[in-house]
Amino acid sequence: MCGIVGIVEPELGRSIPAAEVQHMVRTLNHRGPDEEGSVRLPGVALAMRRLSIVDLAGGQQPFSNEDGTIQVVANGEIYNFAEVRGELEQRGHAFHSRSDIEVLAHAYEEYGEAFLGRLRGMFALALWDGRTRTLLAARDRAGEKPLYYAQTPSGLLLGSEIKALLSRAEVSREVDLEAIDQFLTYEYIIAPRTIFKHIHKLPAAHYLRYRDGAIEVRRYWDAADVPVRAWSEGDARDAVRETLAEAVRSQMMADVPIGLFLSGGIDSSAVAVLLREAGAASAISSFSMGFGEGSYNELPYAREIAALCGTQHHERTVSSDVRGLFERLVHHLDEPFADVSLFPTFLVSQIAREHVKVVLTGDGGDELFGGYDAYEAQALAARWDGLMPAAASRAADAVLSLVPPTEKKKGLINKARRFVDGLASAPAEIAHYRWMTFLSAASKRRLYTRGLQEAMAGSDVYRPVQDALARYGGDDLLNRQLYADLSIYLADDILVKVDRMSMATSLETRAPFLDARMMELAFSMPGELKIRNGTRKYILKRALEGLVPAGILHRKKEGFSIPMKNWLRGELRPLMAELLAEDRVQARGLVEPSEVARLIREHCDQRENHAHVLFSLMVLEQWYSTVLA
């Protein structure tokens, strides 16, 4: 695991000073505290900070081919590197280490850009081909590892995090107001956009080619291209178990101890029991976070799995005293991000790093097999829309808005309010994203200043979701929704959160569900195998029968969240009042102070739950004060 940077100048003449490269790469020390490496060629520099996990003694980057014409740095792990290396050795390539990253230089030399399709792993890489004077950068299929870039008058700059690019004076700090609208709508910003107008995310499953001052970005893999097969239930069940088990085994690759995040849910439990089946669980440490509030706490289920598998279990409870973390985590994220589970993700990573350098996670299971409430809501909405006119949805929303929300995590009242609000306030064209957005068009008209509204006049904040839904062909509606979530919610929310919060503690995370073969297997199965008669993750649960206890396998999904709505009425209320004070809101000029004050009053009086909007506004103000100060 590493942090990487790259500099490529258009003329390829100047010898780039070492200090310039060091200044960029040392902003990423947290991603790679063990060592630093770089290569500087005329007009080109690549550098990395390393967290040593594979080939501790010989895995120093950059790596090159035999004659040095190809240089590469990379962040991540290539799980099938031994297989690829064997093929390359048969073709005459010579290797000088046991590192998985060395394979990249030789695989590119042998197969060209098509080498990306041969890789199974999580990675962000930057490769310089001196023969064609080309820079190639790429990200893994799911987007587990990040990569950002900016083109300036002095050339192309690359970095694992935005902060590496902002260390360069020539990179513009101009804020993208459309990105602010995206953030306040979804709580995150969708690739390729970032909060900065002139800094871009390389999307998952894409590569960038830079040659002669020109950038091309292309996709090299797409789950939408996987043909759906006619599976028998038995064959599908066996394939899921076997493929996931093989993914878990392959991701145990390390020369250091590994651990496991245990949430108490199906996906992390599946990874745990498959580690046990591989004979490794007793040597594994597991880590969990809980909460004092009963409806949010899943520690008992995590303990049950830890005891079953015999892991060395460690757990702690998240308190509402997270104010001290707030500024630190906003800084690590580099751009506004308001998924509140960032706090427990950071804290569980912190615990894990006291014991291990690597953990496996259950990320991806929901997006592959249909685990979210929103899929059920969309199925119900399809029936509702056919029976009830839009006016009835608005009327039901008006009636339910008179019923105060409860302090529970979900509960019947909260779920009913959320369902009807999504029907009434979000366009049907975004399908299940009606329940994955947090600021309606009507709310924006009240909240946004005239200047921000005018800046949004020609934009469509829902377009990325509509494009993703449209890109998946065929008539399998659930697979279309899963594809959109794989492309957007997983890549730009879940994996961003996990990468930044774990790497803030110098911890590597790995997700067996996001193995290339696992993703392709899941998308080869029709939606009716994933949600059947209201049972979510149907085929995954069948595959895990006899391995995961029935009480965990069939309990309702809760999600990894925190009681932010309650904390904003209590311990975090002073921080909210400070960040959203009238003078600060007025000075920023983005939202109306009177509307913010109304949202705060209604929330603190428990008349409404405005936690999503208020926390997002707090993050935005803290980001301006911390990152753009």
For residue 587, count other CB atoms closer than 10 A to its CB. Answer: 12
Q: Check residue 249 and report its DSSP letter.
A: H
Contact call for residues 37 and 61 (beta carbons, < 8 A):
yes
Spatial CB neighbours of 189, under 8 Å, sequence gap ≥ 6: 179, 182, 183, 195, 335, 336, 337, 492
Contacting residues for 232 by C-beta, under 8 A, at least 6 apart: none
Q: Are 169 and 602 in contact (CB under 8 A)?
A: no
Q: How are strands ordered across the β-sheet holding 134-139?
A: 63-64, 70-78, 121-129, 134-139, 206-211, 214-219
**CA 502 to CA 350: how far, in whole Å?**
8
Give the relative orientation of helices 611-626 and 593-604 as an angle to the nearest 10 degrees: 130
Nearest C-alpha neighbor of 422 from the set 408, 440, 409 = 440
User: 309 an active-site residue?
Assistant: no
CB of 231 closer than 8 Å to CB of 243: no
CA distance 319 to 123: 34
Terminal-to-terminal C-alpha distance of the chain? 30
Give the number of other CB atoms < 10 A from CB of residue 69: 14
Distance CA 526, CA 422 (A): 26
Pair 147, 201: CB distance under 8 Å: yes
Sequence-ordered list of residues with C-beta below 8 angstroms from that of 181, at least 6 positions apart, any chain: 444, 452, 456, 459, 461
Q: Active-site residue among 1, 2, 253, 465? A: 2
Nearest alpha carbon to residue 54 among 1, 116, 107: 1
Which runs of E-coded beta strand occur in 117-181?
A: 121-129, 134-139, 148-152, 155-159
| Type of residue numbered 367 | E
Burial class, 202, CB count within 10 angstroms (exposed 0-12 / middle 13-18 / buried 19+): buried
**Tokens standing for 325?**
């973390």
Q: What is the 3-state secondary structure (H, E, C) of 505-560?
A: CCCEEECHHHCHHHHHHHHCCCHHHCCECCECCHHHHHHHCCCCCHHHHCCCCCCC
CA–CA separation, 556 vs 233, rounded Å?
A: 23
Cis preceding linkage at 257, omega within 30? no
Closest CA to 294 of 410, 142, 422: 410
Element (H, E) at 247: helix 233-250
282-311: burial string, b at 16+ Cβ within 10 Å, e else: eebbbbbbbbebeebbbbebbbbbbebbeb
Q: Beta strands 206-211 and 312-318: pairing type?
A: unpaired
Quick one: 237 exposed, middle or buried, by C-beta within 10 A (0-12, 13-18, 19+)? buried
Residues designated catalytic:
2
